[in-house]
């Protein structure tokens, strides 16, 4: 059955007659904290209901696709439940509610007072709420993230959506136009194509994923094209018109497309507008990002900022680490800053990309002699099933010190592999260290420790050299808020 969100979980358990029911994670969370989902909206119950029932008061849930781990002091239990992917609108609803309820639960357990109002910084230690109240604090943390950036020259842009709305669509778009070539654009293009949509991706640039290694960019583009994504480079929307059945898009190359939905993914900009930061004396850069030091503190000592709003490395784990480090610095006396060098990242397309350290181009600009080790192969599961997908792996090495400067992977589970490999690179691993590591067979990852033959050696006459012992200031992770993601 498809879960009816308009009815409360208690009510449907009673109606089942057996005390058993298939439920979604968001409904279980709603039951736990006294909140219920109705028609896609959150309806808060009186605070008296916020007493958590004992775990045994909720019947066992059917086990299949999705796991949710709930913590209550030192007790925990994994609640498994079935999430139906039909219709797609249901999936969108579940994702949104899981996110919202997760925020509520985290704050509830930590004893955080949540005030759901807009606020404006009015001084070094004060903020003003929308209802006129003023709150004073020893420290103020700005963590408002980034917002999607639109193309101001496009007529009819109001008919398009951003990644903020993509999971709230009422119907699945059978024809999707994606505008942009960065993380968000390629991930959603890949996802919706695999779900069966006809996907066209257009961008101003000549290739996807600016800032990544060229072999990864080319490899992913070819794999996405093989899966059916239609690419148009050097092309942007100029006008969007809406009829009763479709959106009509006039492109800069003179062509016209008819689609069901348009996703604008041309970058994100720090969300600092209207926060009162400039009036409070907080310095912002030309893009509107909050300028901070290595401790995430602004030029106003009591005001701090972490995450995408600072436009350093706009990745969720980086924001989490910055927040942890700031808390340790302010309240535990710790002094070590967040380390933004050699930060690994992944692009969750099909296939995935994982990257850490310098690209080939970046390494050549900084080192006298750079060795490249590269392999391009069909993974074993593809050869056994007759699939055509390929895996690409690449190591960038400083020839003088044998230090691994960068690693780049395209293929299944690339994100998992690069997370582990990033530890070694962060510790200064040499190519000889990888060569000395025994392979695990049969795996795709074994290629990382069996690439003995150098693919290329690139030499420069006058390098702007970094010492091998220095941490690299460059990393592949490009801020997704940069407008150059077109």
Residues 122, 482: Cα–Cα separation, whole Å: 28
Which residue's entry shows tokens 């505008």? 179
Which residue's entry shows tokens 């990544």? 212
- Is 441 noted as a catalytic residue in this protein? yes
Compute and round to an integer the Cα radius of gyration of the chain: 25
Q: What angle do CA 154, 159, 160 make, to 5 degrees?
A: 75
Asked if 259 and 245 touch (Cβ cutoff 8 Å), the reply is no
- Contacts of residue 21, defined as CB under 8 A and 6 or more positions apart, other chains included, come to 9, 12, 13, 59, 61
Here the tokens at position 349 are: 């397309």
Q: Which of 10, 71, 341, 441 is catalytic?
A: 441
Here the tokens at position 282 are: 């907080």
Residues 181, 265: Cα–Cα separation, whole Å: 8
Residues 458, 398: Cα–Cα separation, whole Å: 10
**DSSP 3-state of 11:** helix
Asked if 358 and 407 touch (Cβ cutoff 8 Å), the reply is no
Half-sphere exposure of 90 (CA within 13 A, CB side): 16
CA 76 to chain centre: 27
| Active site (catalytic) residues | 441
């Amino acid at each position: 059955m498809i879960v009816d969100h308009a009815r409360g979980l208690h009510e449907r358990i009673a109606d089942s007659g057996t005390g058993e029911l298939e439920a979604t994670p968001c409904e279980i969370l709603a039951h736990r904290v006294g909140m219920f989902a109705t028609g896609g909206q959150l309806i808060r119950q009186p605070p008296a209901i916020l007493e958590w029932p004992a775990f045994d008061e909720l019947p066992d849930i059917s086990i299949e696709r999705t796991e949710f781990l709930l913590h209550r002091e030192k007790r925990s239990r994994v609640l498994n439940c079935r999430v139906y992917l039909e219709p797609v609108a249901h999936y969108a609803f579940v994702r949104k509610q899981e996110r919202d309820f997760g925020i509520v639960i985290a704050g509830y357990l930590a004893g955080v007072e949540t005030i759901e109002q807009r606020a404006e910084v009015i001084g070094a230690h004060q903020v003003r709420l929308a209802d006129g109240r003023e709150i004073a604090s020893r420290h103020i943390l700005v963590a408002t993230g980034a917002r999607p950036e639109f193309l101001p020259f496009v007529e009819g842009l109001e008919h398009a959506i951003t990644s903020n709305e993509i999971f709230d669509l009422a119907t699945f778009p059978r024809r999707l136009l994606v505008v942009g070539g960065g993380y968000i654009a390629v991930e959603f293009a890949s996802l919706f194509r695999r779900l069966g949509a006809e996907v066209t991706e257009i961008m101003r640039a000549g290739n996807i994923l600016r800032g990544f290694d060229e072999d990864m960019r080319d490899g992913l583009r070819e794999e996405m094209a093989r899966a059916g994504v239609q690419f148009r480079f050097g092309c942007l929307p100029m006008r969007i018109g809406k009829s009763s059945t479709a959106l009509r898009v006039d492109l800069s190359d003179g062509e016209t497309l008819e689609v069901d939905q348009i996703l604008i993914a041309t970058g994100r900009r720090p969300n600092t507008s209207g926060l009162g930061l400039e009036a409070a004396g907080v310095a912002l850069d030309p893009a509107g990002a909050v300028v901070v030091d290595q401790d995430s503190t602004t030029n106003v000592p009591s005001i701090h900022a972490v995450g995408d709003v600072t436009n350093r490395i706009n990745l969720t784990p980086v924001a989490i680490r910055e927040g942890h480090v700031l808390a340790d610095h302010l309240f535990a006396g710790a002094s070590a800053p967040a380390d933004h060098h050699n930060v690994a990242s992944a692009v969750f397309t099909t296939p995935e990309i994982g990257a850490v350290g310098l690209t080939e181009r970046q390494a050549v600009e900084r080192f006298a002699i750079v060795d490249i080790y590269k392999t391009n192969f069909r993974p074993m599961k593809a050869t056994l099933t007759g699939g055509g997908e390929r895996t690409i792996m690449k190591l960038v090495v400083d020839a003088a010190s044998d230090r691994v400067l960068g690693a780049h992977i395209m293929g299944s589970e690339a994100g998992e592999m690069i997370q582990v490999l990033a530890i070694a690179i962060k510790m200064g691993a040499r190519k000889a260290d990888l060569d000395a590591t025994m392979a695990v067979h049969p795996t795709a990852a074994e290629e990382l420790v069996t690439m003995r033959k150098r693919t290329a050696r690139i030499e420069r006459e006058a390098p702007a050299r970094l010492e091998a012992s220095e941490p690299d200031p460059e990393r592949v992770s490009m801020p997704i808020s940069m407008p150059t993601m077109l």
